Amino acid sequence: GAFHSVIRILPGGDHYHDFLSKLDTIANFVKTKLVDKNGNLIPVIFRPWHEADGSWFWWGYHNDAQNTADDIKKLYQTTVYYLKDNKGIHNFLYAFSPDCGGSSEIDDYSDIYPGDSFVDIIGTDCYLSPNRGGSFLQTAMDKVIQTAQSKGKIAALTE
């Protein structure tokens, strides 16, 4: 049945503090392990909640957990805000990377887009198959590039 998985880890949810503990683990790892020999933080492309437009992850849209687009946006925003502002992680480039052809079309990604201030890279995860050839990938990437350019972001094939 429906259990609204994402809302449970957002502020006010019954697993919010558990979620923050997981983000604390990420922050501690970054600050202690992702440093160069001089102790400087190494830049990292961080891709939280990838393919959130699909139904195959518990944080996804269009799934049995009945996560709403607003839930998914808040999850991404909460993650970025907490890591940047609460934990001082400033070496992440945040990648927003929905699937290239899952439950929604790239034109519908705006439903779950967390906002320009939370995203540095706009990408897509795209697996090719006999039904998804090079022209499918080219079309998907054309849309990603157009969207990224319109927002002043970096475009990427993220998986």
| Cβ–Cβ under 8 Å, residues 25 and 94 | no
Beta strands in the chain (DSSP E): 44-46, 92-96, 121-124, 154-157
Please name the helix (run of DSSP H) or strand (run of DSSP E) that holds residue 140, with its range, or none.
helix 134-151
Q: Is 51 a catalytic residue?
A: yes
Q: Is 159 a catalytic residue?
A: yes
Three-state SS for 118?
Answer: helix
- CA neighbor of 13 nearest in space, from 60, 56, 52, 71: 71
Q: Which of 5, 48, 51, 72 is labelled catalytic?
A: 51
Q: Which of 24, 108, 111, 159 is labelled catalytic?
A: 159
* Residues marked as catalytic: 51, 159
